[in-house]
Amino acid sequence: MLNETVAGLLNTQVNKEFYSAYLYLDFANFYEDEGLKGFANWYRVQAQEERDHAMLMIQYLQNNDCKVVLESIDKPNIELNQKMDPLKQGYAHEQYVTSLIHNIYAAAYEVKDFRTMQFLDWFVKEQGEEETNASDLIKKMELFGDDAKSLYMLDSELGGRVYAAPSLVL
Ligand SMILES: [Fe+2]
């Protein structure tokens, strides 16, 4: 059995990860409407990864005999107008998620819950990659977004992203 605070934070994080999936699906829908199917694909894959994160946390809780409580998922309430909006909002969101993961890690550290710390190591690293990816997308859009041909090529590049199952196995 896990420490109550740590288990509670992980359970809350399940909801946050599903919210992330929901948010990125909203971004994908925005880009579909804009005719940028590559960007839409990129965020659909991202949404799948977020669902994986939630599922990994559920499995970890269950492996430790903790009951999982699913709460309602908030509506994505971010206003999207410009092509850059999802990219900037996505970056800010990933920075926020990083802070959440670090909070759980700190709580586990506090009670010497080494098992949860080890579990979360993967997520700490993953968040680093998510922030880099999000920031790279912004830079690319800043460089190429205003030129139609370049935007077409960037959209094609993002259309090539393929979903892969998470490298973490429990
Ligand atoms: Fe995530």
66-104: per-residue pLDDT in tens?
Answer: 999 999 999 998 999 999 999 999 999 999 999 999 999
pLDDT score, position 1: 82
Q: Is 118 helix (H, G, I), strand (E, B) or coil?
A: helix
Residue 100 lies in a domain: yes
Taking residues 50-68, report their average pLDDT.
98
Give the chain's domain count: 1
Residue 24 lies in a domain: yes
Residue 170 lies in a domain: no
Residue 163 lies in a domain: no
Residue 8 lies in a domain: yes
Residue 67 lies in a domain: yes
d(CA 15, ligand 1 centre) in Å: 10
Mean pLDDT over each residue of the chain, to the nearest integer: 97
d(CA 167, ligand 1 centre) in Å: 13
Residue 97 lies in a domain: yes
Q: How far apart are CA 58 and CA 131, in angstroms?
A: 23
Residue 91 lies in a domain: yes
d(CA 9, ligand 1 centre) in Å: 14
pTM comes to: 0.96
d(CA 63, ligand 1 centre) in Å: 20
Under 8 Å between Cβ of 86 and 27: yes
Under 8 Å between Cβ of 154 and 43: no
First to last CA, the chain: 17
d(CA 116, ligand 1 centre) in Å: 16
d(CA 149, ligand 1 centre) in Å: 32
d(CA 53, ligand 1 centre) in Å: 5
Question: Of how many residues is the chain composed?
Answer: 170
Range of the structural domain that residue 148 is part of: 4-158
Percent helix, percent strand, percent coil in the chain, to nearest 5: 75, 0, 25
Domain holding 62: CATH number?
1.20.1260.10
